[in-house]
Amino acid sequence: MTPSRVRAGLVIALVVVASALAGAAVDRVIGQRMAHRRPPWGQGGPGRGSPQQDARRRSDMLDRMTKELELSTTQRAGIDSVMQRSDSSLRAIRTEMQPRLKQVFQGSRVEIEARLDSAQRINFAKSNPPGGRGQRRP
């Protein structure tokens, strides 16, 4: 191998390593910034968890808001009431809509499976169990 080829290989390796490090740094910075922009209610949205989970989420959010916005005791209590009503409303809507959503998901699944061969259906069933991600299974 000629010295110029060795040098070219080293330059390419250096560029690859530098690119990987730069990508990791950018991912870390963006990930940290995006963590602050995530919805405060967590995965699934408010009203999705148990009443205890909702109370914990509300408490965490209120603690953060109290600190960041310097809420008074009266403001905090009022905001907590708004959040409790919102959670109750969302839970009622979700309960009302759940059967319709389940029907749509089941219909879609049947249509998808109809377009697959038998081997594909087996793989589809393994990777997409009934109920789907984030949905409660019976």
Tens digits of residue pLDDT in 119-136: 998 999 888 887 655 444
57 found inside a domain? no
DSSP state of 136: P
Q: Which of 38, 36, 83 is nearest to 59 (CA)?
A: 83
113 found inside a domain? no
18 found inside a domain? yes
Give the HSE-up count for residue 54: Cα atoms under 13 Å, Cβ half-sphere. 20
120 found inside a domain? no
Element (H, E) at 117: none
15 found inside a domain? yes
Per-residue pLDDT, 41: 47
- Give the structural domain span for 22: 1-38
Query: Does pTM top 0.85 for this prediction?
Result: no
Tokens of 92: 């009622």
User: Measured between alpha carbons, how far is residue 103 from residues 39, 108, 110 in Å?
Assistant: 28, 9, 11
How many domains is the chain built from? 1
Between these two residues, 51 and 74, which has the higher pLDDT value?
A: 74
